[in-house]
Amino acid sequence: MKVRHAMSTNVITATPDTPLIDAMRSMLREHISGLPVVDAHGALVGILTEADLMHRAEIETEAGHVRPAWLDFILGPGRQAREFTASHARHVGEVMTRDVITVDAGAPLIEAVGLMEKHRVKRLPVLRNHALVGILSRADLLRAFVRELPDAVPEDLSDAAIATRLRAEFDARQWTPRGTVHADVHDGVVTLHGVIVNDDVREALLVMAGNMTGVMRVEDQITTIEPMTGMVVHEPGA
């Protein structure tokens, strides 16, 4: 899936000259936590986020409010001046984040997720030929997930059909222990038997079986051993 398939195209924006109070009201009214900032030509020049608005003199949360004087001396006047601007500014351009992480509309969605994780951001302005065409947020990812959930139910929900589909899922993943774990299916109940060396694999196998359409319940009969010593670290029923 591409970014353009998941992004929101109805983007609320601000300009650097937008009064900060108006931008805040827009964010509250539209239930959004970030506003892309564009210039007079529509080019992206920054983004205003909730994080940019945390330190405000009006609510006594400005940076350095309770900081000792000796630390201010060490930090220097430049740091203090920037903090004053952030806590007393009246226009978007004075507090917005200028170094904006963006993504191209044609990029794979996994690339956007990687950027969000790497830079710890909740949203990405989406560009096409350097023009702002949308925004991708974590909520957009959730909406894309819901849209992609399969609606169709397989015609054959027999135990044999479930076992066949489960085996196909096993074979499609590199991490599955094909030779040491097997599944029995009876009356829609999947019982996983076998031996593994990593409990993360156990959890993934339980999720895989539980997600299979037609499965009523999953029984865990897998034993985990420590690979270096052969010691049992998790056994069925433990």
DSSP letters along the chain, please?
-BHHHHSB-S---B-TTSBHHHHHHHHHHHT-SEEEEE-TTS-EEEEEEGGGGS--GGGT--TTTT--HHHHHHHHHHHHHHHHHHHH--BHHHHSB-S---EETTSBHHHHHHHHHHHT-SEEEEEETTEEEEEEEHHHHHHHHHHHS-----S--SHHHHHHHHHHHHHH-TTS-TTTEEEEEETTEEEEEEEES-HHHHHHHHHHHHTSTT--EEEEEEEEE-TTT--EEE-TT-
Q: Of all residues in the chain, what percent carry a pLDDT higher than 90?
A: 55
Give me the CATH topology for the region 159-234: Histidine-containing Protein; Chain: A; (3.30.1340)
Return the domain boundaries, the chain. 3-147, 159-234
Residue 76 has pLDDT above 90, yes or no: no
Looking at the predicted structure, is the pLDDT value of residue 67 above 70?
no
Cβ neighbours of 20 (radius 10 Å): 20
Pick from 31-40, 43-52, 106-115, 221-230: least confident: 221-230
Whether residue 152 has pLDDT greater than 80: no
Strands 123-128 and 131-137: antiparallel
| pLDDT surpassing 70 at residue 211 | yes
The pLDDT score that the predictor gives to residue 162 is 93
Higher-scoring residue by pLDDT: 165, 87:
165
CATH class, range 3-147? alpha beta
Q: Quick one: pLDDT at residue 158?
A: 93
How much is the mean pLDDT over the chain?
87
Q: Please tell me the predicted confidence (pLDDT) of residue 226.
A: 86
Which of 110-114, 130-134, 227-231 is predicted least confidently? Answer: 227-231
* Long-range contacts at 136-139 (CB < 8 A, ≥ 24 apart): 136/3, 136/6, 136/7, 136/8, 136/103, 136/112, 137/8, 137/32, 137/34
- The reported pLDDT for the residue numbered 102 is 96
pLDDT for the residue numbered 22:
95
- Tell me if domain 3-147 and domain 159-234 are identical in fold: no
Interhelix angle 159-172/199-210, nearest 10 degrees: 140
What is the tens place of the pLDDT at every residue in 30-64? 988 889 999 988 899 999 998 888 888 777 777 66
- The pLDDT-based confidence of 75 (bands split at 50, 70, 90) is low
Instruction: Give the pLDDT confidence score for residue 66 in this predicted structure.
Output: 61
Query: What's the confidence (pLDDT) of residue 221?
Result: 92
